[in-house]
Amino acid sequence: MSLRLPFQGRWKLGRKNSLGGSSQLPKQDYEALRERCLMEGRLFEDDSFPASLSSVGSGPLLRKLPPGLQWRRPPELHSNPQFYSANAKRLDLCQGVVGDCWFLAALQALTLHQDILSRVVPLNQNFTEKYAGIFQFWFWHFGKWVPVVIDDRLPVNAAGQLVFVSSTDKHLFWGALLEKAYAKLSGSYEDLQHGQVSEALVDFTGGVTMTIKPAEAPGNLWDILTRATYSRTLIGCQTHSGERVLENGLVGGHAYTLTGIRKVTCKHGPEYLVKLRNPWGKVEWKGDWSDSSSMWELLSPKEKILLLRKSDDGEFWMTLRDFKAHFMLLVICKLIPGLLNQEVGRRWACTMQEGKWEKGSTAGGRMKSPRDTFWKNPQFLLCVWSPQEGRSFPMPCSVLVSLLQKPRHRHRNRKPHLAIGFYLFRLSKYYGDQRRLPPEFFWKNAPLSWPEAFLTEKEVSRELQLEPGTYLIVPCTSEAGRESEFLLRVFSRKHIFHEIGCSVSAVFSKEIVDQNEGQDEFFTKLFEKYPEINAVQLQKILNHMTWSSLGSTQPLFSLDACQGILALLDLNASGTVSIQEFRDLWKQLMLYQEVFHKHNSNQSGYLNRTQLRAAMRDAGIVLSDDVCLLMLIRYGGPNLQIDFVSFVHLMLRVENMEDAFQNLTQDGKGIYLQKPEWLMMTLYS
């Protein structure tokens, strides 16, 4: 487990305790190394991270290793090893002897978003075509995406079982290899023993991490989770300190992944549930709404069947109320800052500036007295504009400032961080293009924002509401003369940001493209008008949507098709869908649109038998050829081709049936249903 407790702030722009810069990683050209190995007929061996105890570490982790430790490649461990499988519906990973639950919780969250996963894990790698025992991964490292190259030798025990991360699908090895790459980036496997979920989340995305104390959470926490789960976010959480399994089944001082939320309708009223997963792949919550809880009997048979999976796989449901009582931290990593703040207008933009504190010149320390050396610190000019130009009374601008200090040692846990912070001043006049504002400025002007405490953290950040204008940001260490490099990031809707006296007059911001831009406003307006949507309203919504990937062949949803879709989504037999159910549908529709467009190569608006199987495989569904033919007969036209509307209906039905089977089966071969459950599942779906 070994979680390091973070400083609590409103917004956290992810901590990254990795190497002290990509320059400390060996420069390895993945393509050149692989081609050389193929030409020489040998498998790659990475001398910079060898298959030896030096890569494991030199501390307490060595005592956890099994006797007879060996290093083996996946083809030596399985007859049919696969790097990654898009067909695996559940990419569950299990923690090994390394105390890196924080890393595994973040990694499990990564698997819920294949587009983000594929940025970190190139999914076209394999153990067959041009296999040379070499693999590559990408991490966001101090403002840049950097590649990490490894060989595929993994530590195993005498029985050939992986000692560190493994997959529940024993033939999949992407998780174990990714952990090895992250260990190399961090210095060793030992250096993964302590950390926070937010560190790994940011290393996987370069995004913005919001940290919330559930016990002190705002009243709209459920709304925040709802927006987060349908957006491109990764969510983790941590229990209160301690390192033992509690009577309620939770593990103290442990990180979990939040994998879903659900508002269910009980006989006594609504209940708000969250679904969590233990990185161990076992040991679950034993309270209300756990796998064996009687609370499930309060739901309709269909809702119970599709939500409850009785399996000791580490995944479980609990109420939001219990979550707030038993979890210390909730960490939401989003690729754009606007989650709590519902400011509309221009897209978010980000600017990054690197700097350093040097003893004798720019390491001025904190503000202590009018005659101190604070003015010597690096100084950055920030000009902020309102995204809603032309208003008589400009609204304050949301600005997020993040200061990250560069690690000072090859091993992420070897050298402690400095205590850092930053000050913000308002500028009312132009002081010229000097290296630094003179000491007199700081004697006469009080800061608008200052550190409440200087923190020995990788990153400190603050969300600010600023009037349009010009400001000065001064990052510093708590004591003068302390040396380090840093990265300063600013997020806002519209700004210019640069270091005073820098050779470049201004560094313009980079726009952050959000694929879900405008969706939250759309959902809010829609459900203000219709809190619950029936089939007629669903038909109007779907037929007024613009299906951008489908080109000129825009689908037309019939009332019958919408009644069928609604029946699949309506778990509580109300005849309507809620905003949460519609958001779930929206995410699925976006995926179905992409795979349909990809395989509709002739732009006819239809898929044939071969194209249908390929499209379903890309969406994670594998059907036999016989079943696929039956689906074309049932959902397609006389020429055995299927249009997009029928494809949506088919995919939703198949996913429902797959979930029902997996939740009900005890042996993976069959299921038992009572007659009312059978009728509900087969007739109303």
**Catalytic positions, written as ranges:** 101, 254, 278
Q: Is 372 helix (H, G, I), strand (E, B) or coil?
A: coil
Residue 387 near residue 348 (C-beta atoms within 8 A): no
Helix axes 644-664, 609-618, angle to 10 degrees: 50
Q: Please state, in angstroms and rounded to a whole number, the distance separating the CA atoms of residues 222 and 318.
A: 14
Which phi and psi (to 5°) does residue 449 adopt?
Answer: -140, 140
The terminus-to-terminus CA distance of the chain in angstroms comes to 43
Instruction: For residue 64, report the phi and psi dihedrals to the nearest 5 degrees.
Output: -85, -10
Give SS3 for 109: helix
Which of 85, 329, 319 shows the shortest CA–CA distance to 211?
329
Say which DSSP state 470 is in: E
- Render the burial of 6-23: b for 16+ CB within 10 Å, e for the rest: beebebbbbbbbbbbbbe
Q: If residue 511 lies in a helix (H) or strand (E), which one and from where to where?
A: strand 510-511
Q: What DSSP designation does 397 have? A: E
* Distance from the Cα of residue 574 to its chain's centroid: 33
- Indicate the Cα dihedral angle 485, 489, 495, 497, nearest 10°: 0
Tokens read off for 345:
């207008």
- Interhelix angle 609-618/579-599, rounded to 10 degrees, is 130
Alpha-carbon gap, residue 329 to 315, rounded angstroms: 18
DSSP for residue 190: G
Helical pair 559-569 and 579-599, crossing angle rounded to 10 deg: 120
Q: Which two tokens stand for residue 312?
A: 């000791």
Triad 63, 315, 271: Cα angle to 5°:
140
